[in-house]
Amino acid sequence: MRLNFFKRLRLIPHVWLNLSRGGPSVTAGKRGLKATMGKRGTTLTAGLPGTGLSISQRIGKQGAKPKSLQTGQKLLEKVLRSKGSSRP
């Protein structure tokens, strides 16, 4: 069984600090349009108040690779280069 945690604290009008198991984030905006900034980048959300309809678009770190993946790729490239240069 999984335990979830989420707490939202209002910092100033229209700005909230969100605390969750996945880490903190900050949300700013009014009803119908908001931006959320967290460790996975920034998400813009637009909605029609009262309808339950909304659309979200992630911007920022969307194409960023995890640091461990970048390190692994560099190591693999180094090994392949060294094997290629050792051929007669």
Q: Going residue by residue through the chain (88 aa), what tens digit of pLDDT does each one get?
A: 888 899 999 999 999 999 998 899 999 999 999 999 998 889 999 999 889 899 999 887 655 555 555 666 676 777 777 766 555 5
Nearest to 7 by CA among 45, 39, 16: 16
Give the pLDDT score at 88. 52
Ordered by start, the domain boundaries in the chain are: 6-85
Q: What is the pTM of this model?
A: 0.61
Give the pLDDT score at 3. 87
For residues 69 and 82, what is the distance between their CA atoms, to the nearest angstrom? 20
